[in-house]
Amino acid sequence: MKNKIRCQHCKEYYQPQDQVALNYANSILHFDCPDNENLPIVDEGTFEEIVKRYSFFSDSLLD
């Protein structure tokens, strides 16, 4: 099975082109979904950009 993660709010799988934000807890959030955690945003971009930018994410998330 492929390694995929879902948005904790809308339950949709992240797609490489989705606009997302990475918060202080290293959680990825869709821009359109509510941020109930209210943690500072560390970075933003497409899901693909964020996964490639941070070594703690596996490239297999993009398969």
pLDDT at 63: 80
Task: Note the pLDDT tens digit of each residue in 10-23.
Answer: 999 999 999 999 99
Instruction: State the pLDDT at residue 2.
Output: 63
Residues 37, 25 contacting (CB under 8 angstroms): yes
CA distance 59 to 33: 24
**3-state class (DSSP) for residue 21:** strand
31 contacts 17 by C-beta, under 8 angstroms: no
- What's the pLDDT at 16? 94
pLDDT in tens, 5-55: 999 899 999 999 999 999 999 999 999 998 888 899 999 999 999 999 999
